[in-house]
Structure 1
Amino acid sequence: MTILAYLRTTLFVCLAALLTACAAAPIPETPDVTRTEIAALRQAFLELDPNVDPEEADRAARIAVTYPLELRALYEIEDSPVVHNTKVNAGLKPRGLCWHWAQDMERRMRSENFATLDLHRAVAPPRNILRLEHSTLIMSARGKTMQEGLVIDPWRKGGVLYWGPTLEDARYDWLPRHVVLAEKGITVP
């Protein structure tokens, strides 16, 4: 083992130990996904606007709740989100940063070609002790703003979906992704 590899491993172990002490308990190995959760999210989609198609609301809710469980296995999630981020950044895990979840969820939802639901990418500027930005997907009724939508955030609980109205998210202040990137001098199509 080279000195650089040794230092990298030592740094990773120390950082992981520090973050583990502050992180939430590990996520359950097999989270329960119930019909009740899917039905509640379906209803929330329907309540966004009278023009939301019930079949689309059903499909979106089912995908939003179940697809993160597939990603969870693909990303090899075993720890809390912050600890997993450390492993991804150290090259020990393939994916699983918040923007990976947001990107993969957006791709999956976009493949459904919803006619009555819109997709928005959002970023929350850092306002926590670790100074971490957070990325997510927000879904709204067609033609409505992301502020009128629902946060679809599987990163927050390691693959178990957090969802709720954008303006009621007490943990994050969401901004359009393109606005945050433009402030950094980055343009997106």
Structure 2
Amino acid sequence: MKSIVVSVMLLAITLIAACSPGTTNGQNEVNRLQQAIQALGPDVDPFEAERAARLAYHHATALAEQYQVSTSPILHNTLVNSGVRQRGLCYHYAEDMQARLRQENFQSLGILRAIAEPRNNFRIEHSSAVIVPKGADIYSGIVLDPWRHGGNLFWSATSKDPRYDWEPRMTVLRRKNTRRIEAPN
């Protein structure tokens, strides 16, 4: 009987370990983002690049836990919009990621916001934080998008994002305001 219990426990531990994400893969992703941030420019501090990459990954996960994300991002949006959940829309992730990274007071990096206007029939815009070399615009940066995969950080060069055409947040907001003012009553 004792050997059966031990065997079942060993099997359970093996299955849990096999199904758990490895820390090596997570660290590899952090390292890849760190290298991409470092490559943004010669003045980017390597220690800040490492800290920003690590924080971006960890904060994306923490936000999903805080927002109680348990479904796809679109379904979670429905929960937020119907009042079942309080936060978890893309702009919540964007503003919370931006705020957290800005707390670090990076000297060689800036944290900006970007919006992609809809390219779909649902007319849904998307917001994200962007990390850039200090003083640069969003087009010189990397999109940090924790919403897209429900708390698993997606990142890419702003201009190479396969899914969205990013613009500075204020550019999009001004354009929307102009459209609203010019729209017939």
Normalised TM-score (structure 1): 0.80
Structure 1 residue identity aligned to 2:81: N
1:181 to 148, 152, 173: 173
Find the residue that maps to 1:140 and give its secondary structure.
Answer: strand
Q: Give the Å deviation of 1:184.
A: 2.5
Does residue 1:47 correspond to 2:32, yes or no? no
Q: Give the Å deviation of 1:64.
A: 0.6
Give the corresponding residue for 1:164: 156
8 A Cα contact 1:31 1:160, kept in partner: no
Q: Which consecutive residues of structure 2, in runs of 5 or more, have no partner in the other structure?
A: 1-19, 179-185
Runs of 4+ in 1 over 6 A off after TM superposition: none
Write the deviation string for residues 38-84 of structure 1: whole angstroms up to 9, x where unpaired.
11100001100011001100110001111111111110000000000
2:125 to 123, 133, 137: 133
Query: Distance between the aligned counterparts of 1:78 and 1:128, measured in 2?
Result: 25
Query: Distance between the aligned counterparts of 1:32 and 1:94, measured in 2?
Result: 31
Q: Whose helix fraction is larger, Structure 1's or Structure 2's? A: 2
Find the residue that maps to 1:185 and give its secondary structure.
Answer: helix
Give the corresponding residue for 1:13: none
Aligned pairs for 1:103-118 (under 5 A) are 103-118=95-110
Aligned pairs for 1:60-75 (under 5 A) are 60-75=52-67
Query: Distance between the aligned counterparts of 2:172 and 2:159, measured in 1?
Result: 18
Q: How many correspondences in the alignment?
A: 158
Aligned pairs for 1:80-159 (under 5 A) are 80-159=72-151
Query: Distance between the aligned counterparts of 1:180 and 1:31, measured in 2?
Result: 38
Query: Distance between the aligned counterparts of 1:175 and 1:31, measured in 2?
Result: 34
Query: Distance between the aligned counterparts of 1:115 and 1:68, measured in 2?
Result: 22
> What is the aligned-residue RMSD (CA, Å)?
1.6
8 A Cα contact 1:152 1:164, kept in partner: yes
* CA distance 1:31–1:107, shift in 2 (3 Å): farther
Instruction: Flag the structure with larger Rg.
Output: 2
Query: Distance between the aligned counterparts of 1:97 and 1:166, measured in 2?
Result: 20
Percentage of identical aligned residues: 46
Q: Which consecutive residues of structure 1, in runs of 5 or more, have no partner in the other structure?
A: 1-29
Normalised TM-score (structure 2): 0.82
* CA distance 1:99–1:31, shift in 2 (3 Å): farther
Structure 2 residue identity aligned to 1:98: C
